[in-house]
Amino acid sequence: MNDRLVTGRPIDDDLGFEVSLRPRRFDEYVGQPQVIANLRVAIEAARGREEALDHVLLFGPPGVGKTSLAHVIAAELGVPIKATAGPIIERAGDLAALLTALEHREILFVDEIHRLDAKVEEILYPALEDYSLDLMIGSGPGARSMKIPLKPFTLVGATTRAGLLTAPLRGRFGIVHRLDFYSERDLHTIVTRSARILGVPIDAEGAAEIAGRSRGTPRVANRLLRRVRDFAQVRAAGAITAVVARDALALLEVDAHGFDEVDRRLLLTIIQKFGGGPVGLNALAAAISEEPDAIEDIYEPYLLQHGFLDRTPRGRTATRRAYEHLGLTAPAAAPPPQKKLF
């Protein structure tokens, strides 16, 4: 699942490239204009008062730039950033080591923060509110509480599943922003910028082909650009045009809407095995041999937003647009019930 070319989640092949393509400042950051405008004001105010920025929560689908934005916030504040992930912080001592090492106004970035252990989360509350750690030293009758002061810092948390955050944790973030899928126009700008950084000749039509199949996700756009670059180098003298991009993406089995084989299989399963739906999540997951969470978090958001799938109280339903895209005939709509005359 995570090795899909069009998945928004990072794969091992992305790591080195993402760092080189990552925007450094707000002026380089493309998209999310409302989020950026609000963050500019908050950061300017914090810098003017020489205070730590309020704690920031960024949530949204995978690959839309939460990690990049955290690094941009640190750069705009002019402070270092330490990055970790929720599942890595297993014990209170791990969290204490991270927090006590932070300098004044420094940023701690925690990815997938909804996966923090409950006991670690309890220790984090006073750190966020009062910049102090309350730890129990020892055990049994000799146990004692120790209060460790911390330097003012900013926690930037990122999550793809904001609904799994506990209310007490979410309530301690002063700045909360959702990052949404990108428009094709913004993705066109991102592809053009990334091609320039990578030294790849690309025309406007070639960038548009890649942007249109990137599922609204910058990470996917950059990944497709790199694959098309390889194709262009081997078969088209290195330059990316619309024809080169179409041929490369056809070879990669990424269609005009950014669907890969898994997306098409999901829609075809609903249509052919379940009569177009409605079908329950667990039944659909079993039919395509995927986890229900994967369908809900990775596949569905894009399909729902672009009108290929409906989520009803009775289950998932393929839309008329899904039938048309797959070259199938949609069933005729049922006539409305006739009113009886008495």
Torsion angle in degrees (nearest 10) through CA of 74, 86, 62, 226: 70
Residue 262's identity, in one-letter code, is V
Distance CA 6, CA 60 (A): 17
Partners of residue 57 on adjacent β-strands: 157, 176
Residue 308's identity, in one-letter code, is F
Catalytic residue IDs: 66-67, 111, 160, 219
Distance CA 281, CA 144 (A): 49
Closest to 92 in 3D by CA, of 67, 55, 125:
125
Distance CA 150, CA 159 (A): 25
Distances from the Cα of 123 to the Cαs of 55, 132, 154, 158, 221, in angstroms? 16, 9, 16, 19, 39
> Are the C-beta atoms of residues 48 and 131 closer than 8 Å to each other?
no
Phi, psi (degrees; rounded to nearest 5) at 29: -80, 125
Closest to 109 in 3D by CA, of 77, 132, 86, 92:
86
| Integer Rg of the chain from CA | 24
Distance CA 226, CA 230 (A): 6
Phi, psi (degrees; rounded to nearest 5) at 315: 140, -165
Distance CA 195, CA 212 (A): 16
> Are the C-beta atoms of residues 35 and 156 closer than 8 Å to each other?
no
Is 55 in a helix, a strand, or coil?
coil
